[in-house]
Amino acid sequence: MDLVGRPLFDSAAPDAGSASGAPSERADAARNRAKVLAAAAELFAGRDPRAITMDDVAKAAGVGRGTLYRRYPDVASIAVALLDEHERALQEKLLGGQPPLGPGAPPAERLAAFYAAMIELLDTHAHLVLGAETGGTRFRTGAYQFWAVHVRSLLTEAAVPEPDSLVDTLLAPLAAEVYLRQRERGLTPDAITGGLARLAHRMLGPGRES
């Protein structure tokens, strides 16, 4: 995945027709997909996503296991599908939105703005992000790969030595488990955002230690 505006996730996309004129997603398949996503959204909102099984989703959606597995290999892929539109919106702002989130601002300001946008997303959709990050899946999602490319580009622009050594470190505070732990400790989203802004300026701002 790179910063060219490609879709972040493919698992949720309908079976779109090809240039050769192949048929689009069947109406019944589209209905089943909508039922699965709606049922899964309710499950994620009401339970620990790590405890939800594919059987739970199939039962809640009223579809067979085969129907579910034909589109989604696991619960994490369903969470990824539900997050898709939110991640795409943020991707577009990073690529071409107004600074400091979009291009045109100093690297430290852009990183601070990215942190703020991600905390806003986590505040609303932490349950989905947690479901998408079960086990090691966090590092394999298109979103994480995109965020990594973005952060690395900011490190490079700021002339930070060995940027690859810091990419995962700077993304670690955005893990859903970390965010939820901080909220459980009584920290507000504003406080978390403020701390991350200080981190961004310490790491990428002028006057930092090389």
Is position 5 within any domain? no
CA 97 to CA 103: how far, in whole Å?
Answer: 7
Mean pLDDT over each residue of the chain, to the nearest integer: 85
pTM of structure = 0.75
* HSE-CB for 176 with a 13 A CA cutoff: 23
pLDDT at 25: 62
Is position 114 within any domain? yes
Is position 137 within any domain? yes
For the chain, percent helix, then strand, then coil, each to nearest 5?
A: 70, 0, 30
Is position 14 within any domain? no
Is position 209 within any domain? no
Is position 19 within any domain? no
Q: How confident is the model at residue 161 (pLDDT cuts 50, 70, 90)?
A: very high
Q: List Cα–Cα distances, 41 to 84, 100, 152, 164, 165, in angstroms.
A: 13, 32, 32, 35, 36
Structure confidence by residue, pLDDT tens digits, 17-72: 434 444 456 788 788 888 998 888 888 887 877 788 999 999 999 999 998 998 89
Is position 105 within any domain? yes
CATH number of 96's domain:
1.10.357.10
CA 155 to CA 141: how far, in whole Å?
Answer: 21
State both tokens at 196.
């991350």
> What's the domain range around 61?
27-204
Say how many domains are in the chain.
1
Is position 119 within any domain? yes
